[in-house]
Chain A
């Protein structure tokens, strides 16, 4: 059953729309800016998927993992099983249905609940870090409980997504009124190869990592099989999912900085490695040999975020667009410059990085932390 309006999926316009904004001073603001940017890029989507990730929205529960769980077809049996599973594996400090606006124009929404939890590890699992434990449990819910999907699992952040235009999804979850965050990413979907369903909308999330993506990952099969070796299972029927798990593996577990991760996802061509000096040649060759299965091939632009930082990057020959803008503490990345200008007309700086080179927006406090770590290393 569709919502109030019966629509014919539109193939005239194409390509997804991406947007991300961070206030590097940490000031929190409503979802309005991200929503209006997406409205400006409306022709990039076709109403089959929209979503937002917001950071810093649950300050009162910031020490607990906020699990947003989607129950397909309002499956109360699944809800019951998730409740039992969470009670057995976590301390649930607060749980509620995510408030929605029933007047919003969205098609057959599933049920969404949020649970604020802390790990309750037993036996062997005590060896796992909290984060690893949460990843493991999220994978268990996604793969073992039919009709239940954890769409968001980080602390003090959340993903809100579904089938509809982004502004409809924002209205449904009341993002302009209910939430304030210091960083927002947004996505308007134009699904091409995979179905348009609520779980398949972007952003994709694991812990506090979120990814929004425009394009196709033609290396999906290779990437997926590699990630399975590390316990990540792709269940959401969309290629973008591999990106979320890949950044979690490389950046959280292996501790690589984005400057290096970008060279794994979008490495230099062999003929450019050939003309580098010996030291660089050795480095890039080693990177390609070790991380070959995480080379992300095909046309793509992604915006990845986690607490404190956000980065936008394209494939190495830029088959999908990206534009970045800055105004004071605000840093934007977007598929189109006009979407940034629509919410911030007088930018200090606007630029487009080369393919495979990341645009990085970090909280100033995080920047200082990193500088301190670097100086200690030196």
Chain B
């Protein structure tokens, strides 16, 4: 029991295999490592990913049979700022790409809660849907989700100087979209809604920075008290054109059709929405 403390074994770590027992899971072909994740714990899978990238020097990872393993890509910070491309086949678990350090993750399947949690840089692309708190506290890079997202998307997303995170959601979102958002750009396209309105309530509650673009129908009562609707400007369209262009290239939608829709631009009314609560 490697991880035992005072005679107690660790319920998780002591049941994870070491790299030496898992090498048959990795096949290196040129600059690509293929890893069979079937039945692996999240520690085992992330250990193998780190092994392939750091020890074997690959720049592409292909993960097969992923089923609920968490934190994929989190422990891949590389001091030499090498970037890795990670293909995920299956259904990754919570906190996919948390703290992501500049790598690109493409998921062929659905993602769960916490995609891109506090992600620093890089890109996450999901060919499917995602769960709650997507892009939570995200501080750089870009996330594109093809279908719907759950509650509290982009909660407390932030920006600093030229680090401006971008999130594009192709479907619709549930409540508290952009809650406490402090920076960044969020685009909600509503492509699977047809003529139906978005159902999300409390959009932008507590928002105090950044910009949201929402395509499709939203009523005033669905918005939080801290956001206001402002006019689209030239640079907004430029921004949308670029990112929606990339979105369409990735997922095969018609760019002009999307851009032809009606967009609502939402900005916070004040930078300190609760500043007056405790001071007078």
Contact = CB atoms under 8 A, between A and B. Distances in A.
Interface string A114-127: 00000000000000
Contacts of B174: 318, 352, 354-355
A42 B43 CA distance: 13
B190 to A, nearest CB: 16
Given A342-B67, A352-B150, A317 B11 contact: no
Given A275-B221, A337-B131, A342 B68 contact: yes
B11 A355 contact: no
Given A40-B68, A318-B132, A5 B112 contact: no
Contacts of A323: 112, 131
Contact of B11 (A10, A41, A272): A10
Nearest to B132: A321
Contacts of B42: 43
Contacts of A289: none
A7 B131 contact: no
Interface in A322-370: 323, 336-339, 341-342, 350, 352, 354-355
A321 B4 CA distance: 32
Nearest to B221: A275
A336 B93 CA distance: 8
B30 to A, nearest CB: 30
A372 interface: no
B175 A317 contact: yes
Nearest to B109: A341
Q: Say what secondary structure dominates the interface of chain B.
A: loop
B12 A7 contact: no
A191 interface: no
A41 B174 CA distance: 24
Contacts of B99: none
A223 interface: no
A37 B110 CA distance: 17
Interface residues of A, number: 30
Given A317-B151, A336-B93, A339-B68, A8 B175 contact: no
Nearest to A353: B174
B28 to A, nearest CB: 27
Interface string A1-22: 0000111111011000000000
Contacts of A272: 201, 221
A236 to B, nearest CB: 24
Interface string B171-213: 0001110000000000000000000000101000000000000
Contacts of A46: 11
A47 interface: yes
Interface string B3-25: 01111111110000000000000
Contacts of B5: 8
Contact of A7 (B11, B91, B175): B11
A46 B150 CA distance: 26
B254 to A, nearest CB: 25
Interface string B63-95: 000011010000000000000000000111110
Contacts of B131: 321, 323, 337, 352
A354 B70 CA distance: 24
Contacts of A13: 12
B113 interface: yes
A9 B11 CA distance: 7
Nearest to B5: A8
Interface string A272-308: 1001000000000000000000000000000000000
B151 A12 contact: no
A338 B112 contact: yes
Contact of B199 (A275, A341, A354): A354
Given A13-B12, A341-B91, A321 B113 contact: yes
Nearest to A347: B110
A126 to B, nearest CB: 51
A147 to B, nearest CB: 28
B68 A318 contact: no
A110 B238 CA distance: 68
A338 B68 contact: yes
Contacts of B150: 318, 321, 352
A12 B150 CA distance: 25
Nearest to B174: A354
A339 B110 CA distance: 13
A272 B7 CA distance: 55
A10 B10 contact: yes
Nearest to B94: A336
Nearest to A268: B201
Contacts of A7: 8-11
A352 B71 CA distance: 22
Interface of B: 4-12, 41-42, 67-68, 70, 90-94, 110, 112-113, 129, 131-132, 148, 150-151, 174-176, 199, 201, 221
Interface of A: 5-10, 12-13, 40-43, 46-47, 272, 275, 317-318, 321, 323, 336-339, 341-342, 350, 352, 354-355
- List the 4 closest pairs (A to B, CB-CB), nearest first: A338-B68, A8-B8, A338-B91, A10-B11
19 contacts: A5-B9, A6-B9, A8-B4, A10-B12, A40-B67, A41-B68, A42-B41, A43-B42, A317-B175, A318-B175, A321-B132, A321-B150, A323-B131, A336-B68, A337-B91, A338-B92, A338-B112, A341-B67, A352-B148
